């Protein structure tokens, strides 16, 4: 009888009493994290873990502490306190053992604290203890109910992730795209968990009401978009279509749309779009009816060669795998405070697959790079620069410490010895703050500074 009742509780929590699709709790993560299957599953596992642990702790607290002392009114405050502590525990575990899932969940992980589904599981099960049911809920029933509720949450998340995946490729009216069709789909999915309580007429009525309201909202939005339509500049639209859509800001404007508008109004120069290159410049010039001029090809370069063969980490780092996060903890994980940390913030933002990280240092493929500057903005240490694609010398080190300090930190670091500056006959190399800088416009590509550099941090760049 006990096993039968436990199985009944487990299946009821998943199906007929699903906390998301039947009781409508936990809607925030249901809509927010169900876009991708992997994050939906990860979130569900975390929620299930918290549900079971929270019930395991709160049930005895309520039964053996609050009830005997007549303090039942404190259950909400105490339960939230317990759930908040357990969420912090889950966050620590994921950060240590599954950092990829920790990073993908992002802000939604702390939000489990305020997930009403978790609080609902711990509180609603207490009603079953005192209610007149076919069997009395025990501590074991409560735990099974919590686990079943977590599996039900997983079922709902996986189902809806599949539905949303299909919606992305479906031909949906423009007025219904986004939130409207998502809510309509969620309502229809929830109906499948309410069949036990509804007749066919009720189901058809519910479908009709949801569909009718959705269509009404779509109609209102369509009419509003027509009445309040903003006149479009056809020339700006054509220019925007010619631009690559990187929205990197390398042109000096807020994005491709801002640059296109400025070009159409004659307030910007042609040829400022580095990612678009020569082909984009020629097409825009054709639209505007002006000369295209010359566009100098450029690429991004990482001014650091301090791989783990040449330098070392000063401490073990187990935090968020991001350069921006690591640099805030003791100035970063590398011994050189100017060097590449190799956690791949630049690689993450690159839209052209031009960046790879090897042995602790980022490398940029100049053939793939479009000089969009996104990696430049993403680097917290500012060691990525945009340079012309030409044959020239290039200092691959960004260190500005004194020579003696640099030698201890990295075997290929610039020590500011000025041998390169003295060797350069064109005056293209200048040493400032113990670091050599090569002016691309003045460099003749003779290679003398490359040969003179004792640290081999000045290399010959083949554009």
Topology (CATH level 3) of domain 390-463: Alpha-Beta Plaits (3.30.70)
Pairing of strands 384-388, 458-461: unpaired
Q: Bigger pLDDT: 92 or 311?
A: 311
pLDDT band at residue 137 under the 50/70/90 scheme: confident
The predicted model gives 205-230 an average pLDDT of 74
Give the position of tokens 């993403």: 378
Boundaries of CATH 3.30.70.20 in the chain?
298-385, 390-463
For residue range 274-318, list pLDDT tens digits in order: 888 788 888 888 888 887 666 778 899 999 999 889 998 888 888
Range in 78-92, 162-176, 389-403 the model is least confident about? 162-176
Q: Write the CB contacts of 445 (distance below 8 Å, at least 6 apart in sequence).
A: 390, 391, 392, 393, 460
**Higher per-residue pLDDT: 366 or 318:** 366
pLDDT tens by residue, 397-447:
999 999 999 999 999 999 999 999 999 999 999 999 999 999 999 999 899
Name the CATH architecture for the domain at 234-288. Orthogonal Bundle (1.10)
Least confident of 243-252, 264-273, 447-456: 243-252
| pLDDT value of position 399 | 93
pLDDT (0 to 100) of residue 197: 55
Percent of the chain with pLDDT over 90: 25
Please state the pTM of the whole predicted model. Answer: 0.51
Domain covering 298-385 in this structure, CATH number: 3.30.70.20
Q: What stretch(es) of the chain map to CATH 1.10.15.40?
A: 234-288
Q: Average pLDDT of 363-391?
A: 91
Average pLDDT of span 9-21: 84
As to burial, measured by CB atoms within 10 angstroms (0-12 exposed, 13-18 middle, 19+ buried), residue 86 is buried
Q: Which residues of 10-38 are buried (b: 16+ CB within 10 A; e: fewer)?
A: bebbbbebbbbbbbebbeebbeebbeeee
- Tell me what percent of the residues of the chain surpass a pLDDT of 70: 90
| pLDDT given at position 450 | 93
> How many angstroms separate the CA atoms of 139 and 444, rounded?
81
Query: What's the rounded Cα separation, in Å, for the pair 352 and 375?
Result: 11
Of 200 and 69, which is predicted with more confidence?
A: 69
What are 69-90's pLDDT values in tens digits? 888 888 888 888 888 888 888 7
**Can you name the residues that pair with 334 across neighbouring β-strands?**
313
pLDDT band with cut points at 50, 70 and 90 for residue 132: very low
CB atoms inside a 10 Å sphere around CB 290 = 13
Give the dihedral sign, CA 387/392/396/399.
negative
What radius of gyration, in Å, describes the C-alpha atoms of the chain? Answer: 31
DSSP 107-133: GGTGGGGG-HHHHHHHHHHHHHHHS--
pLDDT on residue 414: 94
Q: How far is residue 7 CA from its own chain's centroid?
A: 39
CA–chain centroid gap for 47, Å, is 20
Find the angle CA(317)-CA(320)-CA(325) to the nearest 5 degrees.
85
62: which DSSP letter? I
Q: Average pLDDT, whole number, for the chain?
A: 83
Planar angle of CA 421, 425, 428, nearest 5 degrees? 55
Q: Quick check: 133 pLDDT over 60?
A: no
When pLDDT is averaged across residues 370-387 and rounded to a whole number, the result is: 91
């Amino acid at each position: 009888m006990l096993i039968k009742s436990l199985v009944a509780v487990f299946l009821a929590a998943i199906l007929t009493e699903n906390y998301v699709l039947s009781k409508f709790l936990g809607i925030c993560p249901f809509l927010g994290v169900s876009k991708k299957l992997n994050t939906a599953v990860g979130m569900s596992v975390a929620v299930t873990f918290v549900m079971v642990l929270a019930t395991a702790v709160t049930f005895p607290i309520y039964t053996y502490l609050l009830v005997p002392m007549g303090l039942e009114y404190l259950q909400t405050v105490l339960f939230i306190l317990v759930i908040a502590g357990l969420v912090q525990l889950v966050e620590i575990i994921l950060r240590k053992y599954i950092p990829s899932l920790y990073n993908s969940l992002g802000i939604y992980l702390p939000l489990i604290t305020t997930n009403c589904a978790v609080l609902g599981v711990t509180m609603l099960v207490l009603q079953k203890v005192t209610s007149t049911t076919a069997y009395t809920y025990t501590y074991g029933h409560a735990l099974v109910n919590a686990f079943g509720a977590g599996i039900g949450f997983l079922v709902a998340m996986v189902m809806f992730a599949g539905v949303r995946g299909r919606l992305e490729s479906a031909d949906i009216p423009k007025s219904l795209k986004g939130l409207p069709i998502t809510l309509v789909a969620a309502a229809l999915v929830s109906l499948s968990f309410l069949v036990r309580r509804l007749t066919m007429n009720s189901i058809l009525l519910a479908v009709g009401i949801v569909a009718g309201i959705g269509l009404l909202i779509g109609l209102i939005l369509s009419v509003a978009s027509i009445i309040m339509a903003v006149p479009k500049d056809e020339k700006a639209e054509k220019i925007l279509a010619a631009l690559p859509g990187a929205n990197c800001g390398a042109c000096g404007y807020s994005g491709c749309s801002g640059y296109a508008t400025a070009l159409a109004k004659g307030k910007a120069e042609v040829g400022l779009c580095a990612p678009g290159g020569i082909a984009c410049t020629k097409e825009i010039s054709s639209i505007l009816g002006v000369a295209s001029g010359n566009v100098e090809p450029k690429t991004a370069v990482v001014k650091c060669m301090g791989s783990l063969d040449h330098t070392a980490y000063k401490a073990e780092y187990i935090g968020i795998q991001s350069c921006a996060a690591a640099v805030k903890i003791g100035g970063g994980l590398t011994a050189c405070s100017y060097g590449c940390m190799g956690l791949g913030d630049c690689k993450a933002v690159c839209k052209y697959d031009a960046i790879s990280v090897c042995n602790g240092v980022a490398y940029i493929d100049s053939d793939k790079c479009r000089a969009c500057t996104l990696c430049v903005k993403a680097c917290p240490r500012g060691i990525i620069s945009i340079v012309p694609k030409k044959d020239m010398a290039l200092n691959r080190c960004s260190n500005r410490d004194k020579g003696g300090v640099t030698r201890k930190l990295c075997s290929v670091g610039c020590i500011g010895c000025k041998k390169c500056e003295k060797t350069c006959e064109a005056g293209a190399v200048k040493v400032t703050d113990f670091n050599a800088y090569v002016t691309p416009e003045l460099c003749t590509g003779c290679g003398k500074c490359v040969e003179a550099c004792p640290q081999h941090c000045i290399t010959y760049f083949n554009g």
